[in-house]
Amino acid sequence: MIVVPVALDPPYEVRIGAGARRELARVVASLGEVRQAAVVTQGALVDAGWLEGLDPKVPFDVHLLGDGEAAKSLASVEALCRSFARDGLSRADVVVAVGGGVVSDVAGFAAASYHRGTRYVNVATSLLAQVDAAIGGKTGVNLPEGKNLVGAFWQPSGVLCDTETLSSLPEREWRCGRGEMAKYAFLGGADPDASLLALDVEEQVGRCVRIKAEVVAADETESGERMSLNYGHTLAHALEAEGLADAGAGALAHGEAVAVGLVFAALLARRLGRIDDERVALHRRVVAGFGLSAELPAGADPDRLVAAMGRDKKARHDLAFVLDGPDGVELVRGVAPEAVLATLAEMGPRP
């Protein structure tokens, strides 16, 4: 079992390994007087049997969320909080999120809102959640106007990344997680390389979690350094806002959109004179090494994408991107729309 501490106040641990979900009772016991739990999950995880052996050692009810990005809504948060209230959940009790990024985002936001803050534990069952969504306390839901526009910083009391649960992931969910994983090849302070590709999955998750834990401990509320964790996400979120990702079988999954966004960010950084051809090639090699495409989807409208990127939460009435450069990955503000449009044209749509 890999154990990664997250040095916040209060601190918590991320435990990574096969069967990690069975550590839930120990985590709940460490919270003190907890009389009941609310387990938030999805039907597919129940059907797959991943709630078997998941025992917080206190009475609990199971609350089901819908599937996909449609479940990341204020309506879902309201439904959960009303269920918590009907069950008599108190502020001293605990919410347990069992699932992928959608579950951790929605259940975490519900926990942050209910009684103005109820403790929660993430049991991460997807690769995306294990390397990113379940760690660091960013919770939230979508609006029709954009992704993750409403949320809160609310740290979990513990995170359990059970690599056993990855065995039931469909291939598309693997790609979704690998797209998030790819960005970590360029984060963490060391010289970027493709060594992440050579590790087994438990070690890959462990490396990503260590990097994220270090960044979160230095900048919990995303006022500076933590924005580096959005690497590749500005274009990815624009693709999602324009309905080109997470919208059906023919669309990009979130991680696939991030992979496209990583190569876009590298090309934009080169256009701005921040990196050279060799560094762009490394981005392409990492993305391809995870079995992901770097091409824009068919139907991508450059002008609409630029408008969507202008609504990104990093923007301040300008175009802002996390870009690679001589000092590593960092936020760059005031990027000219002409440079963005030229970079999108350079990428071209996939056939």
Q: Among all residues, which ones are annotated catalytic?
A: 116, 138, 180, 212, 222, 226, 230, 233, 237, 254
**Neighbouring residues of 306: CB distance < 8 A, sequence distance ≥ 6:** 238, 319, 337, 340, 341, 344
Q: Is 247 exposed, middle or buried (0-12, 13-18, 19+ CB in 10 A)?
A: middle
Cα–Cα distance, 15 to 134 (Å, whole number): 12
Cα–Cα distance, 232 to 223 (Å, whole number): 18
Cα–Cα distance, 58 to 60 (Å, whole number): 6
Of 73, 166, 171, give the one whose Cα is nearest residue 126.
166
| DSSP-based three-state secondary structure for 27 | helix
Q: At 160, phi and psi to the nearest 5?
A: -120, 115
- Strands ordered across the beta sheet of 12-17: 2-6, 12-17, 159-162, 119-124, 94-99, 37-42, 60-65
